[in-house]
Amino acid sequence: MVRRPKILSLFLSALSPGLALMALLAIAAYAMLGPTGILAWTDYKAGLAERQVELSKLQEERDALRNRARLLDGDRVDPDLAGELMRKELGVAAPDEIIVPLDQ
């Protein structure tokens, strides 16, 4: 039997726990600093707030377009909107013309 020096046997016995510790540290560092890590959450929260503002603006625009489409329904067209669109398409409306809606 070949005897190993004491330092070599200490090194070999500490090698596997050391490698395991380094792997755990690498996983922990990735969990903190990675693209989906804990430090990236603040960026995601800021991006979410921006997207929510954009979403609310788009929902308002969608509701306005939905209302306009409802007013242009084939069976019951709003006469004011129809007149406005006809003047605009025929080129009779002036570019600086302001249309004031009258509530009935």
* More confident of the two residues 46 and 84: 46
Domain boundaries, the chain: 39-92
Q: How far apart are alpha carbons 69 and 65 in whole angstroms? A: 6
Task: Evaluate whether 35 touches 41 at the Cβ level (below 8 Å).
Answer: no
What's the pLDDT tens digit per position in 10-56? 777 888 888 999 999 999 988 888 888 888 888 888 899 999 999 99
pLDDT at 88 over 70: yes
Confidence at residue 55, expressed as pLDDT on a 0 to 100 scale? 97
Q: How far apart are alpha carbons 59 and 17 in whole angstroms? A: 57
Nearest to 101 by CA among 60, 67, 63, 75: 67
Q: How far apart are alpha carbons 3 and 5 in whole angstroms? A: 7
pTM above 0.75, yes or no: no
For range 69-90, the mean pLDDT: 80
